[in-house]
Structure 1
């Protein structure tokens, strides 16, 4: 069944990529009526209008090595698992939890937080490439509201916004330099981002691998609750 035009707030998170690309982030979409993806410089996420028509995604997958993951791969985030059609292969698939917050808990400390923009792009991409929080391309930081913590000019940690389906805004790109972990940077920055989202009368949400118990516990301590299970799938041309 086609899901074009998803507008029900209770359903947009079932298909966050399609909901974002046919809604608030439509200006960043490339493709056609049957399938869309974010322009590559923003990231590899894609979706078909009909969730069962995976073959429609084939034209959005490149054969070169210019994407954020080093291939022409696309990433799907769907409520249901994906069966690839002939010509495509599942590179990896993982069960995730989708979490939503209606408020955030107060921080226990304080750090000097900076808004990040194009002038910080190289440092942000380097940090994300080194720590691998998820797909991050050269313009991912433009998807919304990134903040960070610097020390002596070095970017130690950051967090920001990514997909914006319906009334929801995703917190993503959360990463910390390995030698700086355990200081509370990630939780503090996530609270800043989530508070700004709530102040705009939007709802913060995020995704975590279901096996990452430590991350899920952190997110719960910030005020996030599990909304549902969802599957992340990476597709590539054979």
Structure 2
């Protein structure tokens, strides 16, 4: 690659040693397998047109790129936003509330999907929880909060799916769960990264408190067929 792996994070993940098996390819375009996510990329800007050949059971694709790209033929723009891509190589020392958490399993998938739909932490589908380790906090069997892993370019793992039910916020669940996920990532000798909408100052403050710093702004676009 002639670019930093995180500049074209979707392409890097779907050609990595850990997630290439999730790649669905059509010509010079690739997307994450349906059920896992809607992220897609063209191998080269000249191959953007091949994205129209990708399967679209969800009715959309999402691109995340450091450099803006032309709109692929056959698609309209449903949404665009600026994300801040943040990286972490060492957790900041600090007190995080001890909370009872557990590794989530397939049995938790319906509750994970319901929580993600309620809080909208980002694209989340029925197999998204299989992209990496997810941890959660439960009360009486009810899932209150979770955090886990998503895209995995070689040497990097994305912290994602961080969400807390509205009636359980303010208890330190997000920070505690993220710290646990990050410890796993750093323990493998990898760099942790994540994405946040640039206007989400509350979330950015939480991430900075853990040790994340902004690496680069990223262009996110949700594409729908026309």
TM-score range, shorter chain: over 0.9
Separation of aligned partners in 1, 2:158 and 2:45: 21
Unpaired runs of at least 5, structure 2: none
Number of residue pairs aligned between Structure 1 and Structure 2: 224
More displaced stretch, 198-207 vs 105-114: 105-114
SS at 1:12 equivalent = coil
Match of 2:168 among 163, 170, 180: 180
Separation of aligned partners in 2, 1:127 and 1:217: 23
Which residue is 1:39 aligned to? 33
Which residue is 1:17 aligned to? 10
Structure 1 pair 91–52 and aligned structure 2 pair: CA distance change class (3 A): farther
Tell whether 2:136 aligns with 1:113. no
Which residue is 2:69 aligned to? 82
Question: Pairwise CA RMSD of aligned residues?
Answer: 1.4
SS at 2:35 equivalent = helix
1:38-97 CA deviation, whole Å, 9 max, x = no partner? 1111010011100353212111152xxx42xxxx10000101223214421111110111
Separation of aligned partners in 2, 1:207 and 1:56: 26
SS at 1:138 equivalent = coil
Aligned residues of 1:33 and 1:49 also touching (Cα < 8 A):
no
1:188-222 CA deviation, whole Å, 9 max, x = no partner? 10000001000011111000011111111110001
More displaced stretch, 102-111 vs 194-203: 102-111
Measured after TM superposition, the shift of residue 133 of structure 1 is: 0.6
SS at 1:141 equivalent = helix
Following superposition of structure 1 onto structure 2, how do residues 44-63 of structure 1 map, counting pairs within 5 Å?
Answer: 44-62=38-56
Which residue is 2:78 aligned to? 91
1:118-138 CA deviation, whole Å, 9 max, x = no partner? 011011001001111100000
SS at 2:45 equivalent = coil
Separation of aligned partners in 2, 1:210 and 1:27: 31
Which residue is 1:232 aligned to? 220
Q: TM-score, normalised by structure 1?
A: 0.90
Separation of aligned partners in 2, 1:209 and 1:127: 19
